[in-house]
Amino acid sequence: MSAGLNFDPMRLPAECQTLRAQVRAFLAEEIAAGTFDPHDPAHSDSYNRAFSRRVGAKGWIGMTWPKKYGGHDRSYLERYVVTEEFRVANAPANLHFVADRQSGPILLKYAPEHIKADILPRICRGELCFAIGMSEPGSGSDLFAAKTKATKADGGWRINGTKIWTTSAQVADFMLGLFRTSPPTKDNRRHGLTQFLIDMKTPGITVNPIRQMTGKVGFNEVVFNDAFVPDDHVMGEIDGAWKQATSELAYERSGPERFLDTFYLLPEFIRALGPEPDLRSAEGLGRLVAQLHTLRRMSVSVAGMLHAGKEPVVEGSIVKDVGTVWEQKLPARVRELAAFLEPESVNHTALEDQVAFATIIAPKLTIQGGTTEILRGIIARGLGLR
Amino acid sequence: MPGDSDHIVADIAARIFADFADPQTVNSAADGAWKKRLWQALGDAGLPLAWVPETLGGSGASMADGFAILAAAGRSALSVPLAETLAAGWLLSRAGLDAPAGPMTVAPVRPNESITVDGEGRLNGRAAGVPFAFDCETIAVLADGGKRVALVDREDCRVAQGHNLAGDASNVVTFDRVQPLRLARAPDGFDAWSLPLMGSAIRSTQIAGALQTILSLSVAYANERVAFERRIGKFQAVQQNLARLAGEVAAALAVSASAADAVAQAGDFDEAKFLEVASAKIRTAEAAAEGSAIAHQVFGAIGFTQEHILHRFTLRMLSWRDDFGNESYWAAELGQRVARGGAGEFWPLVASR
């Protein structure tokens, strides 16, 4: 009954709140030093190698990984706190974030020992940026339609084809990508894809940046022309990447980044409202606060399940579905609520700028990392719809 | 499900609900005779006075156990004043008053209503929408803006006929120099918010429970009903709707369980508990509206009949939104408090939970 949805009231343990204070102090220092402006979301997606190194030096990348690979043996819940504080501050974590969230864990699971020993410590030091090579011109949500080929060669594989919409490829040091090593079989169309670790400096790789509707470069076309990948860069089972994909998804889908991408609008709106808002604004704000608190409690609950070693795939997908729809609507809600603000309020221009920026980026929030439609398909399956 | 394995009391409650208040049986019952048998069984198990310590005549269960009972009651769309009796027992025992046997309810349940105690210790005022007042023997009252707690005999009050969306009694109760059965000072830290906060935590828990059942009923129906030679659960449009319903159920479960957990902790209702409970009432009420619409859409015409049990869940949870302040009311209050706290205090408050 009730399709087994589980959202226990997980509370972050005391050590998380100590860590939170440390993270806030660090971010305050960085803001004071001019590294980034917490009120300017337009630059939170920049790649700042020096900043990422300082974050690494603090021990906040690869937090949950074993010490022998440069990690810190800390809990998933502690990582959660670092992630949410960075998001809320608009800190520029793009350089290391993907490596920390999903590339590192994949390497930990599937890479041969010498590669783990080489690459993981560098991720932890904040030195490496990772891209994820999934989408292709003819294959987006339908991951298993990928055509870009890896053909067996002496001592490795030759890759030919094109990946597209690849975030961070213009700066990435490595890519973890899915490539076709065999055709799909009749009874399993997901068969035949293999996951590879690609050094982006490999000859034969061309990165063509694609300008987004924000006017900035965020994703890329990556063309492979006989690029050579050595055998030891195969991650996991040849032709069997489809078996590896699902269990990591809950980590990727349920984190605070799935509902905090436009968070900055709320404090800015509160600042513009002042301490005695009219009834309409107060009600509108109150609903948004309730919705945010709910999402965070859902997300923390999933974090607790992951921490306990469970695989809450449906719950994680629900957090991303509800969370991204909410963060996408937030600019529209704040825009409506701000319609009657006094134009003299001190930060009116700042709020308008933020609403404008968030309105432009909003469409991507329900597309990147698994579209709403795909997520709902996963949820429906998890509910037992046949 | 929260509580099912942790709380033996809740398991007992769920078994009693299944045996004596099965939604299908109750829905087609000719009269209310089942209510007497149900109440007898609940009383025998000590459930109505779960939140009353043994020294005051109750069974002394934990706050968490009580909320687990309420979640189970929500999953059964229970239509007897169990939640109200729990709330009344809580209110009385906090003031050191012992609780009578029999069904109780609480007042006031609407914002901005006050019941006052005059110089001779008699109660005056009016409370609208008091749940099950007609079916209860006594009413626990938080009077004088949260300074006093009283227990009155329902027959000493004027109780007008009325019912909520689901047909459960919901009455205007007029207190005209009513001599209370018991009267005491409210405990330190109590104010006019104490009852609305507890009541809202309770209603949020019940709504989340009802939504859980609505989801499982809807999924089962989509897997069984055939249209265009396919089970309707095969259609992507239906799947997307049910996934959205699951999202609403998940939100309601998470926020209500969090609020119940917060309320169960020792201490007064501070800003953090206010955030928890207000959010729970707001978000579960939103989920009730969304969830009801989706479920009815899945069921089509059959779900709109008296004969089908869906309305027992949808109409009841839609009614529960209105008790102890609806979502608009709580949103305005929460928004004002957050604005007063200022931009800098906002994230620290959210992150403290």
Distance of CA B136 to the CA centre of its chain: 16
Residues near B266 by Cβ (< 8 Å), separated by ≥ 6? none
Task: Decide which of A141 and B347 is more confident.
Answer: B347
Is residue A148 scored above 50 in pLDDT? yes
Nearest-CA distance A68 → chain B (Å): 32
Is residue B271 scored above 60 in pLDDT? yes
- Shared domain for B265 and B241, answered yes or no, is yes
Closest CA to A370 of A211, A245, A221, A203: A245
pLDDT of residue A252: 74
Mean pLDDT within B199-209: 98
The DSSP letter of residue B157 is S
Decide: helix, strand or coil at residue A198. strand
d(CA B228, CA B99): 58
pLDDT of residue A31: 97
- Of all residues in chain A, the one with the smallest CA distance to B233 is A385
| Buried-state track B327-338, b at ≥16 Cβ within 10 A, e below 16 | bebbbbbbbbbb
Q: How much is the mean pLDDT over chain B?
A: 96
Per domain, the residue ranges of chain A are: 2-128, 132-240, 246-383
Q: Does the ipTM surpass 0.95?
A: yes
Residue whose tokens read 């040091």: A173
pLDDT of residue A250: 65
Is residue B1 scored above 80 in pLDDT? no
Q: What is the CA radius of gyration of chain A?
A: 21
- Shared domain for B211 and B345, answered yes or no, is yes
Q: Which residue, of B159, B187, B215, is where some domain finishes?
A: B187
Nearest to A297 among B223, B338, B353 (CB): B353
Q: A320, B246 in Cβ contact below 8 A? A: no
How many CB pairs lie under 8 A apart between chains A and B?
201
Closest CA to B250 of B284, B292, B279, B275: B284
Going through B222-334 in order, the beta strands assigned E by DSSP cover 226-227, 230-231
Residues A241-293 have pLDDT tens digits of 988 866 566 667 889 999 999 999 999 999 999 999 999 999 999 999 999 99
- Shared domain for B39 and B131, answered yes or no, is no
Mean pLDDT within A155-183: 97
Residues of B in contact with A287 (CB under 8 A): 282, 286, 327, 331, 335
Q: Do A7 and B231 touch (CB under 8 A)?
A: no
Q: How many residues does chain B have?
A: 353
- Shared domain for B62 and B180, answered yes or no, is no
Nearest-CA distance B5 → chain A (Å): 12
The DSSP letter of residue B56 is G
Of A3-7, A161-165, A255-259, B185-189, minimum mean pLDDT range: A3-7
Q: Record the tokens describing residue B69, joined without a space.
A: 């009972």
Q: How much is the mean pLDDT over chain A?
A: 94
The DSSP letter of residue A233 is G
Q: Which of residues 208-237 of B touch A (CB under 8 A)?
A: 212-213, 215-216, 219, 222-223, 231, 233-234, 236
- Shared domain for B71 and B145, answered yes or no, is no
- Shared domain for B205 and B255, answered yes or no, is yes
User: Hey, which CATH number is domain A132-240, 2.40.110.10, 3.30.420.10, 3.30.230.10, 1.10.579.10?
Assistant: 2.40.110.10
- Shared domain for B236 and B341, answered yes or no, is yes
d(CA B110, CA B289): 20
Residues of B in contact with A341 (CB under 8 A): none
Nearest to B257 among A4, A7, A377 (CB): A7
d(CA A29, CA B259): 35
Decide: helix, strand or coil at residue A195. strand
Q: State the pLDDT confidence band at A313, using cuts at 50, 70 and 90.
A: confident
pTM listed for this prediction: 0.96
Full 3-state SS string of A301-331: HHHHHHHCCCCCHHHHHHHHHHHHHHHHHHH
Q: Which domain holds residue B342?
A: 194-351
Residues of B in contact with A315 (CB under 8 A): 250
Q: Do B336 and A293 touch (CB under 8 A)?
A: no
B interface mutation test: which of A11, A253, A287, A372 has the most B CBs within 10 A?
Answer: A287
Q: Which of residues 55-114 of B touch A (CB under 8 A)?
A: 75
Residues of A in contact with B279 (CB under 8 A): 289-290, 293-294
Q: Is A315 on the interface with B (CB under 8 A)?
A: yes
- Shared domain for B279 and B151, answered yes or no, is no
Q: How far is CA A194 from CA A111, A184, A224, A256, B74, in A?
A: 13, 12, 16, 30, 48
Closest CA to A96 of A122, A134, A77: A122
CATH code: domain A246-383 is 1.20.140.10
Is residue B168 assigned to a domain? Answer: yes
Q: Do B332 and A286 touch (CB under 8 A)?
A: yes
pLDDT of residue A249: 65
Q: How far is CA B190 from CA A170, B68, B126, B198, in A?
A: 60, 24, 21, 11
Q: State the pLDDT confidence band at B2, using cuts at 50, 70 and 90.
A: very low
Quote the number of domains for chain B: 3
Q: A203, A180 in Cβ contact below 8 A? A: no
Residues A5-35 have pLDDT tens digits of 999 999 999 999 999 999 999 999 999 999 9
Is residue B49 assigned to a domain? Answer: yes
Mean pLDDT within B226-235: 96
With residues binned 3-state (H G I as helix, E B as strand, rest as coil), the percentages for chain A, rounded to 5, are: 50, 15, 35
Q: Do B247 and A287 touch (CB under 8 A)?
A: no
Nearest to B246 among A84, A268, A379 (CB): A379
Residues B76-106 have pLDDT tens digits of 999 999 999 999 999 999 999 999 999 999 9
- Shared domain for B275 and B171, answered yes or no, is no
Q: What is the second-level CATH architecture of the domain A2-128?
A: Orthogonal Bundle (1.10)
Nearest-CA distance B294 → chain A (Å): 14
